Structure 1
Amino acid sequence: MIVLTSDGAIRESSEAAIDKVSASSSSRSSVTNGRLRVARLSVTLLLVELVVESVLLVAID
């Protein structure tokens, strides 16, 4: 909400400013969560690859 202050300046109310900050922090946290999800998936895929290669090496020998 935009308010008119006593000196004639037009400013956003503190509620709107707080909403903007929380929206920006939630978008940052979703980016962080996305990166964390990608990192977990990468580690999982590396472990799966290691297990599959180990099984194949044992099967070949």
Structure 2
Amino acid sequence: MLNIKELRKKQDITQKELAEKLGIERSKISQWETGYCLPKVTELPKIAKALNCNLSDFFD
């Protein structure tokens, strides 16, 4: 399971701030964090960079 919410909170940034870094709507971040949908695999490196983490940090 992706730990986007935990990683985002460790960076002390809001969903809005993360969305702005990624150039997407805030609602998409919320959907990822609640498990409603998941980011595309191709988006993961960009998300990791925005959260200052490694791809392996996303997974339990």
Under TM normalisation by the shorter chain, which class is it?
under 0.3
Determine which structure has greater relative contact order: mean sequence separation of CA pairs < 8 Å that are 6+ residues apart, divided by chain length: 2
Please tell me whether Structure 1 or Structure 2 has the larger radius of gyration of its CA atoms: 1
- The TM-score with structure 2 as length reference comes to 0.21
Q: Which has the higher strand share?
A: 1
Q: Which has the higher helix share?
A: 1
- The TM-score with structure 1 as length reference comes to 0.21
